[in-house]
Amino acid sequence: MRNRAGLETRRRILDATRRLLSERGVDGVTVQAICDAASIQPGSFYHQFDTKDEAVLAVVTEAIAALDERTDPDTDTPKSLVEAYVGFVEHNPDLARVYVTLVVARGITDTDTGRRAVSHHRSRLARLREAIARWTGQPEPDRQAERILAALNGYTIQALLDPDFDLATHANDLLEREFGDDLDS
């Protein structure tokens, strides 16, 4: 019974955090605002999370995990992974903005956030590398996977800064430069 109450409190905190992020952005979210939106006391928040950033990162991690569930590591292609990446950024710009902000601004100065960001990057890279190897037959496409992921990260920052930047078109151009015109074969 106690565990169920804790899970319900955690769910309310994450729902409130998600809603506040979309309304206010990461800098507009405070522990008190989360507590007010979740109708809980600060002690209940701190029983679940050590900091606001931890709750924010949990929301972003959930969104990324949901994205990963929509693709299949055994049949991924470079194109399907890039399309999923672009789809996440285009359909979840608030969460993408929060993720980039956390990774860039806090990941450099906060060891735990930096460690999580590097871990996430490595898992994305491994998945892309495996898809490229399976699709192209290259035994170790490490640099190609790094180039693609680095370009996507840069494109994402540009897309979040410039609403006229066409992320999907640039991502498709990137794939064509890397793999030629036979992306759908």
Query: 100 pLDDT exceeds 70?
Result: yes
Query: 182 pLDDT exceeds 70?
Result: no
DSSP-assigned letters across all residues of 5-40:
HHHHHHHHHHHHHHHHHHHH-GGG--HHHHHHHHT-
Mean pLDDT of 171-185: 83
Q: Domain 1-49 maps to which CATH number in 1.10.10.60, 3.90.1010.10, 2.60.120.380, 3.30.70.270?
A: 1.10.10.60
Integer Cα distance of 16 and 131 in angstroms: 36
User: Which has the minimum average pLDDT: 19-23, 104-108, 177-181?
Assistant: 104-108
pLDDT at position 183: 62
pLDDT at position 153: 94
Query: 184 pLDDT exceeds 60?
Result: no
Integer Cα distance of 114 and 101 in angstroms: 12
Integer Cα distance of 101 and 110 in angstroms: 12
Which residues, at least 6 apart from 31, have a Cβ–Cβ distance to it below 8 Å? 42, 45, 46, 51, 52
Integer Cα distance of 38 and 11 in angstroms: 9
Which residues of the chain form CATH 1.10.10.60?
1-49
Query: 17 pLDDT exceeds 90?
Result: yes
How far apart, in Å, do the first and last CA atoms of the chain sit?
53
Query: 61 pLDDT exceeds 70?
Result: yes
Q: How far is CA 181 from the centre of its chain?
A: 28
Integer angstrom CA distances of residue 26 from 33, 61, 77? 12, 15, 33
Integer Cα distance of 131 and 134 in angstroms: 5
Tokens 């729902």 sit on residue: 15
Tokens 């037959």 sit on residue: 137
User: Which has the minimum average pLDDT: 69-78, 110-119, 133-142?
Assistant: 69-78
Query: 147 pLDDT exceeds 90?
Result: yes
Q: How confident is the model at residue 35 (pLDDT cuts 50, 70, 90)?
A: very high
Which residues of the chain form CATH 1.10.357?
53-179
Q: Which class is domain 53-179? A: mainly alpha
pLDDT at position 63: 80
